[in-house]
Amino acid sequence: MAELAHNSWGKTDVRLSKLRRGADEDDFIDITARVSLEGDVSFAHTAGDNAGVVPTDTMKNTIYGLAQDHLTDDLEGFASVLAGHFLEKDWIDSAEVELSARLWQRVTPTGFIGGGSELRTAGVTRSRHGTEIRAGIEGLVVLKTTGSGFAGFPHDEFTILPEADDRILATSITATWRYAQLPEDTTSAWQTARRTLVERFFGDRSESVQHQGWMMGVALLDAVPEIDQVTFRLPNQHHLPFDLARFGMDDAGIVFQPVSEPYGDIAFTITR
Amino acid sequence: MAELAHNSWGKTDVRLSKLRRGADEDDFIDITARVSLEGDVSFAHTAGDNAGVVPTDTMKNTIYGLAQDHLTDDLEGFASVLAGHFLEKDWIDSAEVELSARLWQRVTPTGFIGGGSELRTAGVTRSRHGTEIRAGIEGLVVLKTTGSGFAGFPHDEFTILPEADDRILATSITATWRYAQLPEDTTSAWQTARRTLVERFFGDRSESVQHQGWMMGVALLDAVPEIDQVTFRLPNQHHLPFDLARFGMDDAGIVFQPVSEPYGDIAFTITR
Amino acid sequence: MAELAHNSWGKTDVRLSKLRRGADEDDFIDITARVSLEGDVSFAHTAGDNAGVVPTDTMKNTIYGLAQDHLTDDLEGFASVLAGHFLEKDWIDSAEVELSARLWQRVTPTGFIGGGSELRTAGVTRSRHGTEIRAGIEGLVVLKTTGSGFAGFPHDEFTILPEADDRILATSITATWRYAQLPEDTTSAWQTARRTLVERFFGDRSESVQHQGWMMGVALLDAVPEIDQVTFRLPNQHHLPFDLARFGMDDAGIVFQPVSEPYGDIAFTITR
Amino acid sequence: MAELAHNSWGKTDVRLSKLRRGADEDDFIDITARVSLEGDVSFAHTAGDNAGVVPTDTMKNTIYGLAQDHLTDDLEGFASVLAGHFLEKDWIDSAEVELSARLWQRVTPTGFIGGGSELRTAGVTRSRHGTEIRAGIEGLVVLKTTGSGFAGFPHDEFTILPEADDRILATSITATWRYAQLPEDTTSAWQTARRTLVERFFGDRSESVQHQGWMMGVALLDAVPEIDQVTFRLPNQHHLPFDLARFGMDDAGIVFQPVSEPYGDIAFTITR
């Protein structure tokens, strides 16, 4: 006997941009959206009956259709509108919407420079039981040349890493926080959150990625009172000292080899 | 007050290959590994005390070190050895190891052709409370030119997708199953699982990706009795009919535009 | 004074698939196309006059439009038709078409497995002065566990690479050849070329990537008499021995670390 | 008879960063390097004799070794030193070095934000016959919401693109220029070049990508007198109007679908 224990279906990587002409300058919003629904569509699986299967093409169209009136800098608001729309169908139990916005830096009233890896993210999950609203940041690449060490760790037969009192620390910050209460201005809350993360990454000496991240997270909870939980993922973008002594040189310890793989992968959640 | 609700740390994208010289032919195993640990290292976060923080560099070294004696085609076995090794440290609560093996096709006793997207995966999570063993397949790209439709779905103002009695169906299969009991020969079990997925994808007519996946999953549970649960992720690799009538041509319906984004994203879990 | 020394414009990454229903089985062709035109459109640059600028959107449409009648396994033939079509416009001096076909492996009369990195390529450049026809292979990933060395190289202060009598050799073959005369059956010629490359890679012991490639190229010129020139690019996919002696282990020399970057990059052209 | 018509060998994707401690602040340089050599190593190909084959591993080591003393913001200078080093071997005919630097934005004296796609590039080719020095920019993503049209183009049976008086124009600028004479301060020259490209992209209305690029190129030749030639590659990052009228909506023309593939691909070279 087989049983359908869980199912979801949705549309991923929906790219959408919206241009708002202003008197003095244009706004340009540029997002990637993902919608995912859950509901009682077990007959679709077991019997090929699609009566409840909202096509993922319809989901895509809905995102474009509702964007015209509803997409603003308040990403959380647009995600809520979308999730609410899908939940109107009574056989849908839960709708999850994830948005990520590329950040374009304004150069002129109608001109922008892009290309950065940093994304502002927002997520809303609405079900019959309630609504969860999340926001976050992804791909915020930071590096500091001092103010970070890693020492005092346990040793075993496979440990050859030297202790380091001072090293290059680099990561690509992904942080996702949950709003216990929605801030009045989600964009301003996001900017406060971002500023806090940046200030603490560069401002606090740390003894590990974990230590650095903890201080960032505590400061984030302090800075934005509506947040009740934040999850970090902080890959360690290693810059390995390149040993020049092998070539008979005096090694000044200033030449490094950045490596993409493998990488240290640190994840944690901080709550109030 | 802030509290550390969850934490893990590990090493990701550890690439390793192992060559075993044989009398008649060489074996070549080629994996990417991820290790992730959980444990009481809250002092590392809150106080910068690394006494319990096994360095991710040590994790990497351990994978290479233990591979010499323990890595075989039984990926699940190697993952278990690795997880068990990390759990020997008494402050570690849980160790998770994920392995994925590239599949090299033998051409000569010492020669192989690679480059395929398909991966055999294995995962083991060991904690003080028990062990979970998983296996799976990733990136198995399949396409059929007939035997798949999608019709009878709900319509609303954003629905323009035509009903299709017969369409191209393509996906990149990711399936991960859990072993209630470890098969005697994990490689043979994996091959049975793969063969079953392929046979059912091509053998069964389906009314949706969900329908196709359900039939594959039921057959998988039938074919490998040690499996008690399987999770699928089946992205719909759309091949959109390209409208040639716009150019005044007779459109024979045989020219398509494959698109990468956006894509339909179907996920579900089947249990016994 | 500024002068327009060279210009081209085109459409890249046009993905197209074509399905041909057969009595016994279906054919599925899956290509990515690039078209690039040259011609006297200097007024477009200097004066914003687009009278000669065939839109790249039109190029895309043309590829789809002509595919219905003209795309077959003879990629070189379809590329020629396309290039000829664009050259009909008398202000176009030269049209270049590059096609690459994903290789789907037939499993059933209507079912295929894909996902491989290997591509069959074809290129045609037609101008007022003549036509050049090329074919090739890309992403053919091969690895052998023996039959390759690298020794006797020059040493200087930065040389620490040990000499190797026997090592793993892996590469992703890109080869592009020029037809002095078009083979009657381009698909059969391509298959002969591929088989020759594979046989010689695995069949001949080599002292370097260069040496291996030379033998492959000479054999290719032998096997397909219509080819008068072939260019190879053979990145060295390094598998670095991982030193286990550091951990106090007996190192059996069977555990390797494959690395993606940096990589050795060998390129050369062989003519008759 | 087969003949070796051309050959080169080198190392690609060498990642290197250099940290220079200063009294007031640290500098951080972060490059990716490629070295490629040509020379008479035909015996390596035809006879497996590696006497002249500088190992690509040695090339990599040389880049790290010489970086300690020679790598500064003057990328062109470091590329020249590297190329000159390899040319000291008398059987090497030509050495080409390409560098690309990621741009880290300073936040504190020892802290930086990265993650941008933009690269500063430099290239030097030195041979027995002379030296060519190039510089450039890659991945500079720019978008303007007005000030760009595309109309008056030729029509044929495959043309359906509507004429546009005003459209979103976005591209990722790649420009590579040649120095007839080396500027005294290559970093300052590069900054002037970048500023000129940005100012002209946003400042000039254009009738096509070609037109926009021409104006940028002419301005670049004006702004940096040492440049005698510049080559652009300007992929058109299309933002397609998404038709909302299909849903019975009033379409305000403000919602777009950005697409990655296919894309228009415009390339040209401007000389004095």
User: Which of C157, C160, C260 lies at the smallest CB-CB distance from A261?
Assistant: C260
Collect all residues of chain D within an 8 Å Cβ-Cβ radius of residue A19: 145, 168, 254, 256
**Residue D190: alpha-carbon gap to chain centroid:** 12
All residues of chain A having their beta carbon less than 8 Å from the beta carbon of residue B1 are 272
| C-alpha span between A197 and A192 (Å, rounded) | 9
Measured between CB atoms, which of B9, B41, B210 is closest to A53?
A: B210
Q: Supply the mean pLDDT for chain C.
A: 97
Q: What is the overall mean pLDDT for chain D?
A: 97
Shortest distance, CA C94 to any CA of chain D (angstroms): 14
Contact criterion met (CB < 8 Å) for C246 and A157: no
Task: Give the per-residue SS3 of B92-125.
Answer: EEEEEEEEEEECCEEEECCEEECCECCEEEEEEE
Contact call for residues D146 and A110 (beta carbons, < 8 A): yes
Q: Count CB pairs under 8 A between chains C and D.
A: 240
Residue C157 to chain A, least CA–CA distance (Å):
6
CA distance C8 to A101: 34
Is there a contact between B117 and B96 (Cβ–Cβ < 8 Å)? no
Which distant-in-sequence residues (6+ apart) come within 8 Å of B225 by Cβ? Answer: none
The mean per-residue pLDDT over the stretch A78-106 comes to 98
Asked if the Cβ–Cβ distance from B160 to A214 is below 8 Å, we say no
Q: How far is D222 from chain B (nearest CA, A)?
A: 42
Report H helices in chain C.
Answer: 42-47, 56-70, 75-87, 186-203, 209-223
Partners of residue C223 in chain D, C-beta under 8 Å: none
Q: Could you check whether the bond before residue C162 is cis, i.e. omega within 30 degrees of 0?
A: no
DSSP H helical ranges for A185-252 = 186-203, 209-223
SS3 content of chain A, % helix, strand, coil (to 5): 25, 40, 30
Q: Which helix (H) or strand (E) holds D18?
A: strand D3-20
CA distances from D32 to A15, A265, D44 (A): 31, 24, 28
Q: Which residues of D touch B247 (CB under 8 A)?
A: 157-158, 160
Q: Residue C234 is which amino acid?
A: L
Chain A closest CA to B90's CA: distance in Å? 12
Q: Are the beta carbons of B7 and A49 separated by less than 8 Å?
A: no
Comparing CB atoms, the residue among D158, D246, D260 nearest residue B247 is D158
Question: Best mutation site among D15, D62, D64 for testing chain A: the one with the most A CBs within 10 Å?
Answer: D64
Buried b (16+ CB within 10 A) or exposed e, B25-51: ebbbbbbbbbbbbbbebbbbbbebbbe
- Closest residue in B to C201 (Cα) is B111
Nearest by CB to A145, which of D26, D118, D239?
D26
Q: Which of B144, B168, B260 should we substitute to test contact with C (largest number of C Cβ atoms within 10 Å)? A: B144
The Cα A136–Cα A122 span in angstroms is 6
* C233 Cβ neighbours under 8 A, 6+ residues apart: C174, C175, C265, C266, C267
Which residue of the set D171, D174, D176, D238 is catalytic? Answer: D238
Residue from the list D172, D202, D254 with its beta carbon closest to the beta carbon of A18: D254
Name the residue among A26, A139, A257 with its Cβ closest to that of D115: A139
CA of A167: which chain D residue's CA is closest? D19
The arithmetic mean of pLDDT across residues D207-225, rounded, is 98
Confidence of residue A1 (pLDDT cuts 50, 70, 90): confident
Give the amino acid at C224: V
pLDDT digits 0-9 by tens, C133-173 = 999 999 999 999 999 999 999 999 999 999 999 999 999 99
Mean pLDDT of the A129-158 span:
97
**How many interchain CB pairs under 8 A, A with C?**
13
Chain C residues with CB under 8 Å of B65 CB are 244, 247, 249
Show residues of chain A in contact with D239, CB under 8 Å: 17
Chain B residue numbers touching C70 (CB-CB < 8 A): none
Cα angle value C36/C40/C41 (rounded, 5°): 80
Q: Encode B4-17: b = buried (16+ Cβ within 10 Å), e = exposed.
A: beebbbbbbbbbbb
Antiparallel, parallel or unpaired: β C111-113 and C169-179: unpaired
Neighbouring-strand partners of residue D158: none
Q: Say yes or no for a CB contact (<8 Å) between A110 and D249.
A: no
B144 is catalytic: no
Question: In this structure, what are the phi and psi dihedrals at residue D148, rounded to the nearest 5 degrees?
Answer: -155, 135
- At residue B9, the 3 state secondary structure works out as strand
What's the pLDDT band for C51 if we cut at 50, 70, 90? very high
> D259 to chain B, minimum CA–CA distance in Å?
8
Residue of D nearest to C231 (CA): D6
By the 8 A CB rule, do D160 and B245 touch? Answer: no
The stretch D250-271 carries a mean pLDDT of 97
pLDDT, tens digit, for every residue of C79-110?
A: 999 999 999 999 999 999 999 999 999 999 99
Tens of pLDDT, residue by residue over B110-152, are 999 999 999 999 999 999 999 999 999 999 999 999 999 999 9
- Cβ–Cβ below 8 Å for D141 and A252: no
In a mutational test of the D interface, the residue from B157, B161, B244 whose CB has the highest number of chain D CBs within 10 Å is B157
Provide the shortest C-alpha distance from residue D210 to chain A (in Å): 19
Q: Which residues of A touch D216 (CB under 8 A)?
A: none
Which contacts qualify for D258-261: CB closer than 8 Å, 24 or more apart? D258/A15, D258/A16, D258/A17, D258/A30, D258/D170, D259/A15, D260/B260, D260/B261, D260/C13, D261/B260, D261/C12, D261/C13, D261/C14, D261/C15
Q: Which residue's structure tokens are 């249990």?
A: B271
Of C58, C47, C103, C117, the residue nearest C82 (C-alpha):
C58
> Distance of CA A183 to CAs A31, A81, A190, A192, A226, Å?
21, 16, 10, 11, 6
Q: pLDDT of A8-46, one tens digit each?
A: 999 999 999 999 999 999 999 999 999 999 998 999 999
Closest Cα in chain A to C156: A247
Residues of A annotated as catalytic (active site), given as ranges:
11, 56, 238
Per residue in B149-168, pLDDT tens? 999 999 999 999 999 999 99
Cα diameter, chain D: 74
Mean pLDDT for chain A? 97
DSSP secondary structure letter of residue B41: -
Coil, strand or helix: which one is B79?
A: helix
Is residue B143 within 8 A of residue C28, CB to CB? The reply is yes
SS3 (DSSP) at A145: coil
- How far are the Cα atoms of C64, C76, D67, D73 from residue D79, in angstroms, in the given order? 45, 41, 10, 11
Cα angle vertex D258, ends C57, B156, to 5°? Answer: 105
B32, B56, B187, B192: the catalytic one is B56
Interface of B with D (CB under 8 A): 157-158, 160, 246-248, 260-261
Model confidence at B1, pLDDT cuts 50, 70, 90, reads confident
pLDDT exceeds cutoff 90 at D151: yes
What is the rounded CA–CA span in Å between residue C17 and residue C201? 31
- Are D153 and C50 contacting, i.e. CB atoms less than 8 angstroms apart? yes
A9/B267 CB distance under 8 A? yes
| Min Cα–Cα distance to chain D from C267, Å | 5
Whole-angstrom distance, CA of residue A4 vs CA of residue B152: 21
Phi, psi of B20 (to 5 degrees): -115, 115
Distance CA A168, CA A142 (A): 11
- Residues C114, B147: C-beta atoms closer than 8 Å: no
Q: Do the bridges between strand C255-258 and strand B3-20 make them parallel or antiparallel, or are there none, so unpaired?
A: antiparallel
Q: Which of B229, B201, B157, B207 is nearest to A41 (CA)?
A: B207
Given this model, what pLDDT does residue C118 score?
98
Q: Is D63 helix (H, G, I), strand (E, B) or coil?
A: helix
- B146 alpha carbon, distance to own chain's centre: 26
**pLDDT on residue A57:** 98
Average pLDDT over residues C62-66: 98
pLDDT in tens, D153-201: 999 999 999 999 999 999 999 999 999 999 999 999 999 999 999 999 9
**Confidence category of residue C1, pLDDT binned at 50, 70, 90:** confident
Cα dihedral angle (A54, A56, A58, A61), rounded to 10 degrees? 150
Chain C, nearest residue to B107 by Cα: C202
Cis peptide before A183 (omega within 30 of 0): no
Bond before D262 cis per omega within 30 degrees = yes
In whole angstroms, what is the distance from residue D62 CA to residue D64 CA? 5
Q: CA of A261: which chain B residue's CA is closest?
A: B13
A140 → chain D, closest CA residue? D115
Which tokens hold the place of A254? 């200033």
Q: Do D112 and A142 touch (CB under 8 A)?
A: yes
CA distance C181 to chain D (A): 17
| Touching chains, D (3+ CB pairs < 8 A) | A, B, C
Q: With beta carbons less than 8 A apart as the criterion, state whether A270 and B4 touch.
A: yes
**Residue to test with chain D: of C68, C99, C153, C172, most D Cβ within 10 A:** C153
CA C144 to chain B, closest CA, distance in angstroms equals 4
- Contact between chains at B262 and A1 (C-beta distance less than 8 A): no
For residue D55, whether the previous peptide bond is cis, meaning omega lies within 30 degrees of 0, is no
Question: Regarding beta strands D169-179 and A239-241, do their DSSP bridges make them parallel or antiparallel, or are they unpaired?
Answer: unpaired
Is D2 in contact with C158 (Cβ distance < 8 A)?
Answer: no
Find the helix or strand (DSSP H, E) in which B268 lies.
Answer: strand B263-271
Positions of C marked catalytic:
11, 56, 238
| Torsion angle defined by CA atoms of residues D218, D219, D220 and D226, in that order, rounded to the nearest 10 degrees | 80
Judged by CB atoms closer than 8 Å, whether chains meet at C264 and D9 is answered as: yes
| Mean pLDDT for the stretch of residues C50-75 | 98
Q: What are the tens digits of pLDDT across the range A47-62? A: 999 999 999 999 999 9
B13-41 pLDDT tens trace:
999 999 999 999 999 999 999 999 999 89
Question: Is it the case that residue A122 has pLDDT exceeding 80?
Answer: yes
Percent of chain D with pLDDT over 70: 100
For the segment A200-249, what is each residue's pLDDT rounded down to a tens digit?
999 999 999 999 999 999 999 999 999 999 999 999 999 999 999 999 99
- D220-234 per-position pLDDT tens digit: 999 999 999 999 999
